[in-house]
């Protein structure tokens, strides 16, 4: 089965051999307080910073998922309220989880066709502005320069960006925001069970001044441990090892971006040629580079997903409000050109 699911997604083909290597070398029972773990952790962070162009003064923390990172942010980086900008299911969920922890937090929702306009935002009483760079549920994205203009308009606030389905797939200007979060089962081409939380020095300062210490994953505690490249609990050491191996092998993010964008343009042009399905997102300026959402009649979408599955091609289900009338295709780096050709051939045979 070739997976085009936008998470958990197709793994890099090298993963099985890296797993064997891990088993042989004792990584699977490596103590997380040992100097071997510290060396692995250091190496992983070094590769992440180098390959993804993360500024040197940013901190990288290991978490278990993107969802855990949402809660860490709500607990440890917000005293009273955050403002959540969203146009889809993941952004809304982030807001809902945060709202349970910080009930004064508020939401600003916008249309999936809308280019987010910072001039319309009123964020002056929020400490933190949260947005989803790539909304996996509907295949839209917020461009780097938009994030930059939000930062310029609100210099006092912290900006937090969920880049779960785009980090390692396209170049993100990390210095445009204070907090970035992701998990590795999307563009990293790795098995689930590991998340990343990336923080600017300004975010670290805020965490230390808020000094929230009620949880095993309170940020001051994570900072304390990360000073020696460790974690507050026994982490997913295999996941960290696989991340290190993958990051050591992938090209620089500028190269990856070029391929991702070419493939995305190709997918969008491809679907424009069919009458029976449409692209979910009409506004080209907000279409995602990493998740392509295609819309049609409910029965037709169900039929095409089934047929694809029978031919060994796994399409992503629709999500949230678009669960039944869309399917999604991951445009993640681990997918090969040959696999894309196969899927396009399938569509040419089965779509009119």
* Interaction site with ligand PLP (CB under 6 A): 7, 65-67, 90, 132, 136, 162, 164-165, 183, 195
| Closest by Cα among 156, 153, 211 to 178 | 156
Secondary structure (DSSP) of 245-288: HHHHHSPPHHHHHHHHHHHHHHHHHHHHT-SS-EES---GGGB-
| Conformation bin of residue 105: beta by default, left when phi > 0, alpha when psi is -120 to 50 | beta
Sign of the dihedral through C-alpha 202, 203, 204, 210:
positive
Report the nearest approach of ligand PLP to the CB of residue 348 (Å).
Answer: 29
Residue closer to ligand PLP by CB (options 76, 165) is 165
Residue closer to ligand PLP by CB (options 65, 146) is 65
Residue closer to ligand PLP by CB (options 292, 347) is 292
Q: CA-to-CA distance for 267 and 151, rounded, in angstroms?
A: 32
With 0-12 / 13-18 / 19 or more C-beta atoms within 10 angstroms meaning exposed / middle / buried, residue 191 is middle
Report the nearest approach of ligand PLP to the CB of residue 88 (Å).
Answer: 8
Report the nearest approach of ligand PLP to the CB of residue 7 (Å).
Answer: 5
Residue closer to ligand PLP by CB (options 162, 289) is 162
Other CB atoms closer than 10 Å to residue 196's CB: what's the count? 26
Residue closer to ligand PLP by CB (options 132, 222) is 132
Q: CA-to-CA distance for 31 and 39, rounded, in angstroms?
A: 12
Residue closer to ligand PLP by CB (options 165, 176) is 165
Whether 284 contacts 264, CB under 8 Å: no
Cα dist. 110→84, 88, 139 in Å? 11, 9, 14
Show the tokens assigned to 142.
Answer: 């917020």
Show the tokens assigned to 212.
Answer: 């929230």
What DSSP state is assigned to residue 170?
A: B
Residue closer to ligand PLP by CB (options 90, 327) is 90
């Amino acid at each position: 089965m070739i997976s085009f699911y936008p998470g958990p997604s197709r793994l890099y083909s090298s993963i099985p051999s890296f797993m064997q290597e891990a088993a042989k070398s004792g990584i699977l029972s490596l103590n997380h307080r040992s100097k071997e773990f510290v060396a692995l952790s250091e190496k992983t962070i070094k590769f992440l910073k180098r390959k993804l162009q993360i500024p040197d003064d940013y901190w990288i923390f290991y978490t278990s998922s993107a969802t855990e990172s949402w809660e860490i942010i709500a607990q440890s980086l917000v005293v009273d309220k955050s403002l959540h900008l969203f146009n889809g299911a993941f952004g809304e969920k982030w807001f809902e989880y945060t709202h349970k922890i910080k009930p004064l937090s508020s939401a600003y929702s916008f249309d999936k066709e809308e280019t987010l306009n910072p001039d319309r935002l009123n964020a002056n009483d929020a400490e933190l502005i949260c947005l989803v760079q790539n909304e996996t549920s509907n295949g839209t994205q917020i461009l780097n320069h938009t994030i930059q203009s939000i930062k310029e308009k609100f210099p006092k606030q912290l900006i937090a960006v969920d880049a779960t389905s785009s980090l390692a797939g396209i170049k993100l200007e990390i210095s445009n925001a204070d907090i970035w979060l992701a998990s590795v089962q999307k563009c990293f081409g790795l098995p689930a069970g590991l998340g990343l939380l990336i923080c600017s020095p300004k975010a670290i300062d805020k965490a230390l001044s808020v000094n929230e210490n009620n949880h095993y994953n309170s940020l001051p505690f994570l900072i304390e441990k990360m000073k020696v490249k460790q974690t507050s609990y026994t982490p997913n050491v295999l996941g960290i090892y696989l991340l290190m191996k993958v990051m050591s092998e992938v090209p620089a993010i500028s190269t990856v971006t070029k391929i991702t964008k070419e493939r995305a343009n190709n997918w969008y042009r491809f679907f424009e040629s069919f009458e029976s399905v449409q692209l979910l997102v009409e506004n080209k300026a907000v279409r995602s580079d990493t998740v392509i959402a295609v819309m049609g009649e409910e029965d037709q979408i169900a039929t095409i997903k089934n047929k694809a599955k029978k031919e060994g091609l796994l399409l992503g289900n629709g999500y949230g409000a678009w669960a039944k009338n869309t399917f999604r295709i991951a445009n993640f780096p681990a997918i090969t050109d040959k696999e894309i050709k196969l899927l396009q051939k399938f569509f040419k045979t089965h779509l009119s």
